[in-house]
Amino acid sequence: MTSSFKSYLPAIVAAINGRRSVRNYLPEPLSDTVRGQLTEFIDRIDLPFPHEVRVAIVPQDANGSIFYFPSPGNYVTFTCPRTILDQAKLGFAGELFILFA
């Protein structure tokens, strides 16, 4: 694990210890500061195994909708090859991202 990624570990451990399965979505767009922090985390994500996981923040028209629901201002995409092992690695990376976010 790289030393630059290790700086995120205290925040991730604190999120694990305080985690509850409640989701809240705010209608406000991501601030430049938050987007920068998330992008930096994505750029530095360092999994303890080789992987082909790709993560990206994708802006979306906040005035759009998904069926009857308003569209969020941003999506986070996670992509990988379609093998079971690669999808498990993607899940691990996704959990790290959610805990950080």
Tell me the DSSP string of 13-25.
HHHHHH--S----
Domain positions in the chain: 3-20+28-61+71-100
Q: How much is the pLDDT for 62?
A: 64
Q: Are the C-beta atoms of 22 and 66 separated by less than 8 Å?
A: no
Q: How much is the pLDDT for 13?
A: 87
Nearest-5° Cα angle at 72, 69 to 75: 125
Report the distance separating Cα 95 and Cα 101, nearest Å.
10
Which residues of the chain carry a pLDDT beneath 70? Answer: 20-25, 62, 66, 68
Query: What three-state secondary structure class fits 92?
Result: helix
Q: How much is the pLDDT for 59?
A: 86
